[in-house]
Amino acid sequence: MSLLRGENLTKDFGIHRVFENITFQINPGDKIGLIGKNGAGKTTLVKLITGELIPDSGEKLAQKGTNIGYLSQEPDFESDSSLYDEMEKVYYELVTISKELQRLETLMGETSQEELPQVMNRYSQLREKFEQSGGYQKDRDIRSVLKGLGFREDEFHKPIINFSGGQKTRAILAQKLLEKPDLLILDEPTNYLDLNGISWLENFLQSYSGSFIVITHDRYFLNKTVNKIWELEANSLTSYSGNYNDFITKKRALKEKQWKDYKHQQRKIQKTQEFIRRNIEGQKTKQAQSRRKQLEKMDIIEKPQEENNDMKLDLETSVTSGKEVVTLSKITKNIADQKIIPELSCKVFRGEKVGIIGPNGSGKSTLLKLLAGHYTPTSGTINFGTNVITGYIDQEQDELSRELSLINELRKELPLTKEEEIRRILGRFLFPPEQMDELVESLSGGERVRLALAKLYVRKANLLLLDEPTNHLDIDGKENLERALNNFPGTLIMVSHDRYLLDKVATKLISFSTYPPHFFEGNFTEYQNKMLKSNNEQDSSTQERSKTKKKKGKSDTKNNQKDSKTSKNNNEQLATQLFAEIETLEIEQEELEEQLADPELYRDNEKAREINLKYRELKTTLEKKYKELDELDF
């Protein structure tokens, strides 16, 4: 039985029709990627599904009791609660039981022998309910999700009201994931996530037991997570089974068939019309009349939509640079006494396409600003080669003057060019004539990116410095940019979380995931495979050391502790020891939890007190070990 379905839904905003007579069905286990051009109606559709909007016609039917969780693209989240407390609201009943268990544990030490059995019985009942409801898993789940989405341990207990917009979005995403609704709807969930966070979210969704709809332009993400693609195009919704790559193959085949069927029918119509014209008044009049009736009854195939509304982006250079484009010699950058860029040295040669990757806040954008001349190094030198002309796009397009019209903004690059030519260039980047006189401040994020690309197009730079260039672009826009960058004859240095772009374009990577940054020859998938192989080898080594430690038994514990003290500076070795200790403690915790859940324990009041005390002490120790592990950088 389906979770939810829509039948012949139509939605208008004034005279603008968003979609017409669309029908769909969401089944248990469906993992749906909703795609379409910017403005196609993706967010409108999910708001119809959640009930925030009502269709102008058609019907939405949901299975009784279906729980829907929705993360909007720009959520509003104001709370005085700490991040961790806000997450615990998802587990309201469990938190209430936990507090009551703590109260009863205290009461056990104060209660008389006569009243103790009653307290123990109540405690046993609550403990069993707590365990069956996943109470022991709650804190692990919260910590896992928060860490996975990039929150540090020291942020867990900070008030959400003091967080940035991106942090608030990640906090709401964490809450929605912890809720585990029957149908999870995520609108651009990878915004504000770095590569590690995106990879973690992919793994979470791959194992998600419910259904979900995700709106995203991240094709790599779609390939990893979904088993169905919904495409909104030309007011219609089409469903394709499989991931994004499957969708591309199937859509191409469908388009080819549509054109083939259309052309075949058009030839048939033309032949029939010609037969009617030649024979309507001759000896074959009856045949001509019969053909005319057949033509009138024919179901006419509509002409397939032409793919002709893409950006015309061809990046050229006005002059060829020298072989050595830029040389960094021991550069560092400090901001407010904080070292943002460690000592970094490298050379970039003509024609190289360099991708810069790493966690948020690791210094990637700062490096681009240094190269663009917006910052000066704290130490070290940056030397450009001969004939180097730079073209820079900031992540938020801060280079654009918000108070100027689109025409006047582009005129800054072309002061002697006629307005007619400027309008023609803006048209290449999909700006309609009536929008060209509007102010830059009125543009959406995607439109600002297109205007920045238009300026890059006319600048004819031979060194492009791009900070998250695919942000706000729809899939068609991203693919156009990829083609342009692949065909670009100059040199490219770009910061990006777009792994599809990094795979298609980058020939070299600078990774800020380590300190100092390291260099890799190849694209993102090649880099990821190398990291995965390295991690697997490290995991195998860790497991082998852990097994050896277990075989040695308790007699070697003191020796291991001494060894760990002598290797405090080796975080990897210390982490290995902590993993082993945590594993042992968790096994002991499970054994104690089994005892606490057994009603027979509470026949012996003294033993019940002893086990409770031991459990609380072990839990405190385990939390300390978790914290030590979280604070390690390994």
Q: What is the pLDDT of the chain when averaged over all its residues?
A: 86
CATH superfamily of 27-53+63-67+181-304: P-loop containing nucleotide triphosphate hydrolases (3.40.50.300)
pLDDT in tens, 563-603: 444 444 456 667 777 777 887 887 888 788 777 767 677 66
In whole angstroms, how far apart are CA 233 and each of 36, 306, 587?
6, 12, 54
Is 80 exceeded by the pLDDT of residue 548? no
Residue 567 confidence (pLDDT): 43
Out of 300-314, 349-363, 441-455, 598-612, pick the least confident. 598-612
SS3 of 227-277: the string is CEEEEEECCEEEEEECCHHHHHHHHHHHHHHHHHHHHHHHHHHHHHHHHHH
Highest mean pLDDT among 303-312, 362-371, 625-634: 362-371
SS3 of 371-384: the string is HHCCCCCCEEEEEE
Q: Are 385 and 324 in contact (CB under 8 A)?
A: yes
In one-letter notation, the amino acid at residue 188 is E
Highest mean pLDDT among 123-137, 153-167, 233-247: 233-247
Q: Are 578 and 628 in contact (CB under 8 A)?
A: yes
Q: Give CA–CA dist 504/132, Å, rounded.
A: 48
Q: Give CA–CA dist 497/334, Å, rounded.
A: 24
| Stretch(es) of the chain classified as CATH 3.40.50.300 | 27-53+63-67+181-304, 324-522
Beta-sheet pairing, 211-215 with 338-349:
unpaired
pLDDT in tens, 231-274: 999 899 999 999 999 999 999 999 899 999 999 999 999 998 88
In whole angstroms, how far apart are CA 193 and each of 174, 298, 465?
12, 53, 21
Is 50 exceeded by the pLDDT of residue 209? yes
In one-letter notation, the amino acid at residue 292 is R
Is 60 exceeded by the pLDDT of residue 43? yes
CATH superfamily of 324-522: P-loop containing nucleotide triphosphate hydrolases (3.40.50.300)
At 551, the pLDDT band (50, 70, 90 cuts) reads low
Is 80 exceeded by the pLDDT of residue 26? yes
In whole angstroms, how far apart are CA 143 and each of 5, 152, 189, 289, 494?
35, 10, 19, 77, 33
Residue 308 confidence (pLDDT): 58
Closest Cα partner for 255 from 234, 277, 275?
234
Q: Give CA–CA dist 507/351, Å, rounded.
A: 10
DSSP conformation class of 345: E
